[in-house]
A and B are shown apart, each in its own frame.
Chain A
Amino acid sequence: MENTQITVACHSQATYQAADPTDTRPTRARRWRGAALALGLAAALSLTACASNERPTSPTDSPGGDSLSGTINAGGSSAQTAAQEAWRAGFQSAHSSVTINYDPIGSGPGREGFAAGAYGLAGSDDAFKLADIASTEFTLCASGSGIVEVPAYISPIVVAYNLPGLSDLNLDAAVIAHIFTGQIKTWDDPAIAALNPGQTLPATAITPVHRSDKSGTTGNFTDYLSQAAPNDWTAGRTETWPQDLGGEAAEKTQGVRQAVSSAAGAVGYIDASQATGLGVAALVVDGTPVAPSAAGATRTVAASQLESGRGSADLVFAINRTPSEPGAYPLIMVSYLVACQQYTDASQAALVKAYLAWAVSASGQEAAAANAGSAALGSDPTLAARVGEAVDSIR
């Protein structure tokens, strides 16, 4: 604003001269402006209009033998972002005329967007509830079509803490519940000390950090607490953190990460892939501490059953948070890809089917594991077959 006024105050006279029709000499201003314009234009032109990584590959290059083209707009779980990035990168490299976009706006909005027709595919940390499937009109699905839900992203959630100098920490569900409900207030609490014999724990106050937004991570975290320590955690499974419990709130995974890494004594729960640089607690299961790992997550999935009463292409796990198998890490999230079983648009169906098939394939799972630190779906042949059948049923 200030600029403008100066300009104005100084200017009127000046341009009055410049506007004199008898004066045809280029004024200094005009020359300068011309030069600036030329410079800007040169800068703009030096930006090529074609990205060097987007040169179309010849059809023989692509393993898909390429008949696919078009766009999938997908959205949902923010936990899946890095995995989606890996799937997208692989798929788009193989199919040069396919574009896939993924909006990591959260599982709830992703499911709503899918139902409303904004997304042709949703990523969700929570499957649709059976009642919702019956009552929802899925805009992009043909009438009478069911939906396909396949597990595609399995990842450990870690309890991350910031205690300089303390690299090993064991916690169990009851202690975590007490920390997050504010009953355990300092790190040298006897309950924590009992799980960590031989460790010198500091008297630092504990700052529990939770997600302020509705989140699948919170859902899985509270599900773990309510199954593994039902007497200590009474709030049940919830995607929205219970407000009356207190603690510090932070938005999304990066917010929690930031909050934990900036305050000594802070502790929070985040996706394992995002915990680099923070202390990560091992969970005590049946008296044995289990550090979070992809293999441990896979074991928990193996010990869990699919929910009953769902359609044959609706593969949803009821995660067993108290697995008896040794080495199973129970605080995990299983995130799903949600699609129509029958689309009204056949070309969208072909795209979604191909993309889903790649995402759940062994190489797709490997790509996700490399970029997102997730666990592969596992080698259970029955599960792999059922997932394959579900994807194959997309029309």
Chain B
Amino acid sequence: MTGLDLIEVDSPVTGSTGSSLAPGRAQALWRSSQPLASTRRQRRRRIKDRAMTAALAACALIAAVPLVSLLWTTVSHGLARLDPTFFNQSMRGVAGVGGGALHAIWGSVLITLAATALAAPVGLGTALWLVECADRSRSALTSGLARAVRAVVGVTAGIPSIVAGLFVYALIALVAGPGYRSGLAGAIALAVIMTPVVESACEEVLARVPGELREGALALGAPQWRCVTSVILPTARPGVISGVLLGVSRVVGETAPLLLVAGFTDSMNLNLLDGRMASLPVYIYSQWQNKGVQAAAYDARAWTAALVLVALVLALHLTARLSARWATRKEH
């Protein structure tokens, strides 16, 4: 914009008069009209520029409104029960007022950790195979397989979470009977959702590791596995970490699959393999959905759990962003 303005200002020849020749005169008239037209055009462009900038800024503001409103609502409703009891009690033996979400917080932490332990190696492994093996292979079969894997990952990334839950439910009902619920089953369902997220993030990171590093390592006589473990993975590590964290924040708020396969309970359960395990999203759902006469107490618990969950997701996002920024800073 500024560049164009400068050209406009500089180019017109001002004050040329005198030539009696018709074409010359016409030209001169045209020229003499230039400064005026140019300022008008300039003004028009500036107005357009301002209007567009304002419109785009408004878009950005509109995009921020739901987030700010969500945060405000959650915080203002959630503060009421943000007390020590909420963090050191479960709902066992509680009817109506009181109680806490310790069991749900622990459940969320354990299920998410287990899901990460399942999804991160598979996701990273798939990405490594695609980038380091399949893309460099000359075999038509391998590259066909790689295309198929990418397609499958793309589709898996798009399946609704409830479908992932149903898949795991069907799988587990076949093996363990219809009433079986456990934290591990929940973790498997979350891992199904999380794996494609981790995979595509890792794939991007690995593909951007400079080829010179690979070539250098191979030229020094390192076998491929050494090149991967000592050069590529350390280089890509922060990106991989933030990819995994994004995957975690994608699944930590999932309700539907956990409701199906991890179930809900009032009591503490730290054993992923045995028995139902509560989690924060399911806790929020069940508090809101199943109120007793003292409905306000249930609402308050649901809001506070929502606040804790939002704080958790924001913290994860922040960690992912910061880990990206730390890496950037070192460059300068």
- The stretch among A98-106, A193-201, A203-211 that forms the contact with chain B is A98-106
Main secondary structure of the interface of B (DSSP, over half): helix
Partner of A81, one of B99, B209, B290, B319: B290
Partner of A7, one of B270, B290, B295, B327: B327
Contacts of B238 in A (CB 8 A): 7, 11, 14-15, 29
Partner of A104, one of B102, B237, B289, B326: B289
Main secondary structure of the interface of A (DSSP, over half): helix
Given contact pairs A93-B93, A119-B179, A273 touches B293 in the complex (Cβ within 8 A)? yes
Partner of A367, one of B95, B106, B179, B213: B95
* Pairs A–B under 8 Å by Cβ, sample size 12: A4-B242, A4-B243, A4-B324, A7-B242, A11-B238, A12-B209, A16-B213, A29-B330, A48-B102, A51-B90, A85-B292, A93-B93
B327 touches A14 (CB 8 A): yes
Which residues of chain A from 1 to 22 have any CB-CB distance to chain B below 8 Å in the complex? 1, 3-19
- The stretch among A172-180, A215-223, A306-314, A369-377 that forms the contact with chain B is A369-377
B263 touches A15 (CB 8 A): no
Interface-central residue, B208, B266, B286, by most chain A CB under 10 Å: B266
Complex CA–CA separation, A395 to B329 (angstroms): 71
Q: Closest 3 CB pairs between A and B?
A: A118-B179, A82-B292, A29-B326
Partner of B100, one of A49, A51, A88, A372: A51
- Binary contact readout B181-214 vs A (1 if CB under 8 angstroms, 0 otherwise): 1000000000000000000110011001110010
A104 touches B242 (CB 8 A): no
Whole-angstrom distance between the Cβ of B125 and the nearest chain A Cβ? 18
A19 touches B235 (CB 8 A): yes
Given contact pairs A47-B87, A118-B177, A273 touches B235 in the complex (Cβ within 8 A)? no
Please report the total number of B residues contacting A with Cβ < 8 Å. 68
A28 touches B204 (CB 8 A): no
B289 touches A53 (CB 8 A): no
Complex CA–CA separation, A118 to B100 (angstroms): 28
Which B residues contact A (CB, under 8 angstroms)? Answer: 87-90, 92-96, 99-100, 102-103, 105-106, 109, 177-179, 181, 200-201, 204-205, 208-210, 213, 231, 234-239, 242-243, 246, 263-268, 270, 275-276, 286, 288-295, 319-324, 326-331
Contacts of A28 in B (CB 8 A): 326, 329-330
